Amino acid sequence: MRWALVKVSLAVTAMVVVAFAVPLGLVVKEMARDRAFSNAERRAAGLAPVLAITTDRQELDKAVATTEDGAAGRLAVHVPAEDSGGTALEIGTRRADAEELAATRRLGRASIAEVPGGFALLQPTALSSGQVAVVELFVPEGEVTNGVATAWLVLAGVGLALIVGSVAVADRLGVRMVQPAQRLAGAAHDLGEGRLGARVPEEGPPELKSAAVAFNSMADQVVQLLANERELAADLSHRLRTPLTVLRLNAASLGSGPAAEQTRAAVEQLEREVDIIIRTAREAKPQTQATGPGAGCDAAEVVRERMDFWSALAEDEGRRVRVAGVERPVRIPVARPELVAALDALLGNVFRHTAEGTAFSIDVHNGDDAVIVLVSDAGAGIADPAAALARGNSGGRPGSTGLGLDIVRRMAEATGGDVAIGHSVLGGTEVRVWIGLDGRRQGATAGRRGHRPVRRRRGGTGTRRAADA
């Protein structure tokens, strides 16, 4: 499109320049010719008073010699004979033919005859005897075309400048049109490859701006539809495993007996089946994150909602719970189902791998460029943080899929953040989730501001727990 606009502008401007420059060049040439002959006619008319007074050869020779043209040999005077037997008088060098001189006398007006090297202006002058003398003035070719070449060169330069200027303007206009179209095509390509955060700046010509608005709206709808689908598949980790955790804990309190053992065996069998479904759902379809418009949520609201769910179980097990930093809205570029799944994975780990009565807390810190979610407990800690963060590593514990912390890590890295495991002030494990707010992806903010991912435990003793994934 850009080169098409340049070609159209080049063609149109060239036609306009030709349409105006060619006639103007001809006009300039004609004006130079008229100027040269007007000056020649004025100089030739200077001998009219002398011819009106006398036709004496000596007087005429003096008069011709005193003129600039006469001294240069370009002026001639042709006086006819006074009677049929007389002799015609010619002063100077004649260049015009006798027929042209006779035609000028007969017509009684000035005429121009083409002669070698230029033109001859024939100016008739009436004599006192009633006859007509002819003053012949030679006009060189260079005088007729004087200044024409310069004028044509200036016209050509102006025309060329107009063409170059129009091409430059068309190119800039083409860039304004092409760049939004290229961005739109690139975003469509990215969206087709699964990068759901692709959005197009709504700028450019009105038509392309409207297309960008429509594309962004479509992408938002795609993100929302995929998020709804993932609630039914990938988010089974919190929709099914959470009630199963409660059921397993309740089954453990049934005591002994065939019915109790059968119940616990059924719960374990159900957990294994759910684990298979979760692995199949996550491996069949890679996780995609969206961080564009329409993909955010209020982290504080989500934390309050999930804690309302988990608090009932915590009360049954005698766990002290502390929640901080959720008094005000905290917007993050993470889809609500993604954050819910991550929180349930972290809290499920606390209930699954710490003893009853173990306290835990959730803290939300809202910064300028990131939101930090801290999930801490008073348990025994994690023996190998690096292994716990590895995808699919269950630590050898029964009923663990090894995907819990991987869900959290992927959610954080989709915003440019990270996940780190360390030692909490409660004495157990602290999982720090860094959620970037500037839209950068794939660990672009890892290690900044001194928040480097912790891959080892910094303190504490006792038997450490393995994380559920």
How many alpha carbons fall within 13 Å on the CB side of residue 236?
15
Residue 469 has pLDDT above 50, yes or no: no
**What are 399's two structure tokens?**
């009923």
**What is the model's pLDDT at position 280?**
56
Look at 326 and 274; give whichever has higher pLDDT: 326
Cα 76 from Cα 97, distance rounded (Å): 13
Contacts 24+ apart (CB under 8 A), 184-188: 184/208, 184/211, 184/212, 184/215, 187/215, 187/219, 188/215
Q: Is 69 helix (H, G, I), strand (E, B) or coil?
A: helix
**What is the model's pLDDT at position 324?**
94
Helix then strand count (H, E) for the chain reads 15, 12
Q: How many CB atoms lie within 10 A of CB 365?
A: 14
Domains of the chain, each with CATH number or no CATH:
2-146 (3.30.450), 149-221 (no CATH), 290-450 (3.30.565.10)
Average pLDDT over residues 244-272: 75
**What is the model's pLDDT at position 327?**
93
pLDDT band at 301 (very low <50, low <70, confident <90, very high): very high
Residue 325, amino acid: G
Strand partners, 435: 371
pLDDT per position as a tens digit, 403-439: 678 888 888 988 889 999 988 888 889 999 999 987 5
Beta strand pairing call for 360-366 and 321-324: parallel
**What is the model's pLDDT at position 401?**
47
Beta strand pairing call for 118-126 and 111-115: antiparallel
Per mean pLDDT, which range of 103-107, 259-263, 379-383, 428-432 is the poorest?
A: 259-263
pLDDT band at 29 (very low <50, low <70, confident <90, very high): confident
Contact by Cβ (8 Å): 390, 379: no
Measured in degrees and rounded to the nearest 5, phi and psi for residue 457 equal -80, 135
Contacts 24+ apart (CB under 8 A), 257-263: none
Q: Is 332 helix (H, G, I), strand (E, B) or coil?
A: strand
Residue 78 has pLDDT above 60, yes or no: yes
Measured in degrees and rounded to the nearest 5, phi and psi for residue 371 equal -120, 130
pLDDT per position as a tens digit, 342-398: 898 899 888 888 889 999 999 999 988 899 999 999 988 887 777 777 655 544 444
Residue 84 has pLDDT above 90, yes or no: no
Q: Where are the alpha helices (DSSP H) in 45-147?
A: 48-53, 57-65, 68-71, 98-107, 141-144
Q: Is 448 helix (H, G, I), strand (E, B) or coil?
A: helix
pLDDT per position as a tens digit, 167-180: 888 887 777 777 78
- The percentage of residues in the chain with a pLDDT greater than 90, rounded to a whole number, is 12
Mean residue pLDDT across the chain: 78
pLDDT per position as a tens digit, 190-236: 888 778 788 888 877 788 788 888 988 888 888 778 766 765 665 55
